[in-house]
Amino acid sequence: MTHYLYLVRHGEQQDAEHGLPDGPLSPRGRRQASLLADRLSGVPFDAMWNSPLQRAAQTAQTVAERLPALSPEPTALLFDCVPTGVTGETPAAFEPFFGAVTDEQVEAGRAQMADAVSEFLVRKPGEVHELLITHNFVIAWFVREVLQAPEWRWMTINQANCGLTVLAQKPGRPWTLLTHNDLAHLPVELRTGLPEPLRF
């Protein structure tokens, strides 16, 4: 019996390029969320959680419309956050990112992700399927945690809008990464949100 954790980045946000901290999904984001819902419609989910931010909540609501047995549950553990500051191992190329990040934000992000890992990366009995709709950095931290990579490595792990990452744990075994940023449900023109666009 396996515990599956499905991690999804929210759909594309309206006017995200203008630097708005949050907002509704763009028309393309709504289409991404709808295709994600189609992709997940056959999974026997036990629970679904989402970040309270509007773009994630709207993505969760779109999925829930196709999975009427599920009710999205917002949780502050899935908020967008910065889980670390510059460490001794952080490559210099990444240091400019932290110029606008305060020590308080880093401290809050680190505490949040410690709590999120304790809450969600915990083995549950039986066959379990849980869905988390959240943000790029949060998913990157979960993947880094499962792979036991150095802390700064979350900065090198990116998810497209409505990309699907699946973690799994069998009894007596560690968590494993089954798939990362799976975009099979999205046509090329809907594959947005990565630092470098995918051309295939």
Give bridge partners of residue 49 from the DSSP assignment: 73, 132
Tokens 């708005």 sit on residue: 20
Residue 195 has pLDDT above 90, yes or no: no
Domain architecture of the chain: domains with CATH: 3-181 (3.40.50.1240)
Tokens 């992700």 sit on residue: 113
What is the pLDDT, as a whole number, of residue 56? 97
Other beta carbons within 10 Å of 36: 26
Confidence class for position 16, pLDDT limits 50, 70, 90: low
* pTM over the 0.75 mark: yes
Q: Encode pLDDT of 113-169 as tens digits.
A: 999 999 999 988 899 999 999 999 999 999 999 999 999 999 999 999 999 999 999
Single-letter amino acid code for the residue at 51: S
Please state the rounded mean pLDDT for residues 8-26.
82
Report d(CA 43, CA 34) in Å as an integer: 15
Please state the rounded mean pLDDT for residues 99-125.
94
Q: What does the block give as tokens for 194?
A: 């990565």
